[in-house]
Structure 1
Amino acid sequence: MTPAQKLLVAIETCELPHPHFMEHFQPLKQRVENALAGRASRIERIMGPSRVGKSMLVNALVREFDEPKIDGRRRVPVLVVPVPTPATTLELPKSVVAALGMPVQRSITPGAMRTRMLEQLRLVGTRVIIFEEASHLVEEGSRVPVRAAADWFKALADSHNLTLFFFGVPRLKILFDNNEQLRLRASATRLLLPYDSRIAGDMGAFHSCVAAFANLFADHGFPIALSPTALTYQCYLLSGGLIGIVSRFMQELADRMAAEAPRTLTFADCQAALKGVTATGSPNFPAFENPNTVENAIAPAALHQAFLQVMRDNDLAAPIINNQPEAVQ
């Protein structure tokens, strides 16, 4: 592979164990370990904006608990199930069976499908089911009432003492708000949020992530000709603190170098890469707009507006800092 191709692979496969990620990964990993040890079932709900790192959490958990074989028999202790859309009482158990890699009968009743699902879960020894994109259950077009969906999951957890993880955007809260039994059985909501520019520790962590990507570019012969602070601030304006958006931007930047020999990447290269990225920051303060911009020219208020845009787009309230929810340090 060429240096540019190696760079793209490095960027695409880069997963950063940053503080917000580890804050949730370690306790969730412990929950899985408890389930595999036969402890009581748990229901966990992990919510956050798109591109905040929920899929990275799921992937990391699955890697920790690979599918073993015992006496030549397949075991799936941790199963990841994408929630179907539209969801129905038939499609939900079908999605579980499909996630196990089993054929799904076309003509089958919901009751028979549920029985088959439970039998297959028993045969492969599943103890934890991770439902990805669980917020599909509360989207317009879902064909199962929210309360009925919650009852279905509660019964599933009880059937084999299963631990269930629900990953989704913040509107997933509706599923639990509409069924007190599921809500009271679940652990407190885990919110995976973007890094907040008002908090020094958050900005330090965000800077470390940007620097890690920048170092990969430099290591492969494509250094980025912005100061570390300037690059961090521009990435923050772009993403509002979402590491997934930063990763997507870095992938696009690397992809545009595919046919080029190693060279220094300019501000113009960063501007060109933006054409393939959906910004999540404030439209009032676009990223990589002015090539003469230096770090001292980025006002704290502009950074905070990028953060607020992400929070508002996801119907989340900005955390209160010093009793001023929209104060800028």
Structure 2
Amino acid sequence: MTRQQRTGWLFTAPVLAIITLVFVLPTLMALALSVTDYSVYALADWANLDFIGVGNFTALLSTPLFWRALGNTALFALFGVPMAIGASLAAALLLNDATVRWKPLWRVALFAPYVTSVVATATVWQYLLNTRYGLINYALSLVGVAPVDWLGDPRASIPAILLFVTWKIFGYNMILFTAALSTVPQDLMEAARLDGASRWGRFRHVTLPAIGPTLLLAAIMSVAGFLQLFAEPYVMTQGGPAQSTVTVLYFMFDEGFKWWNLGQASAVALILFVVILALTFIQTRIGRRFEWL
């Protein structure tokens, strides 16, 4: 190993150690626990720990609540990702307009929810969505819409949480898109404008390809984030009503820390890891097809 290589390893060693400690080792431990019946009894005495192979995975396949959680999570991701990316891209495009004043102030205001505590903001939104005295229902009543039981009706609970999560996280993607829009070649934009391209045409053929890699990154992170949704339904609905907001991570939390079925909870974590890895691979292949990578 050359001196330059040794120097490189020396500088990267702390980061690699942290990644190993907080990611690699927990992943390996989850893999090991997923093939055991590790529970509160094994926690008290390792002699009670037995190897059961794929028993946890087969048990999950016959658990209706797991499939309900999987379906709810898929709904959150299917509708939440386009909402979050669309809102953040629209905000970035508006703030990129030269006629907008006080841009730094707007960026700080729109980014602030992302860095605010989830528990605090979810509690505030519980009051906003309250059926009797919530501001959202009050605004709807002004236009003649009857009050909606946002957190008590299974048909309204998922849209309510989607609205909150979109408001909570879109500021991060907005900052990414704002930075990406600053790299769009202005000579191409000017050439397209002179050729008579419409605003939509300039966006489709100039802006979108230029910000393609950032769009792909935002999509990958948003999909992973919505598939790991937990704190929002935990605080706002506790998985209800009628288990309509139980997510995979919520189900894993209950299995591991409510029922102390840690082996099955590890199996859920491993399944979620594989799903996120597979979707990331698919998105990366799509990005390469569109020459975004």
TM over 0.5: no
Greater relative CO, 1 or 2 (CA 8 Å, sep 6+)? 2
Could you state the TM-score of these two structures normalised by the residue count of structure 1?
0.26
- Structure number having the greater helix percentage: 2
* Rg larger for: 2
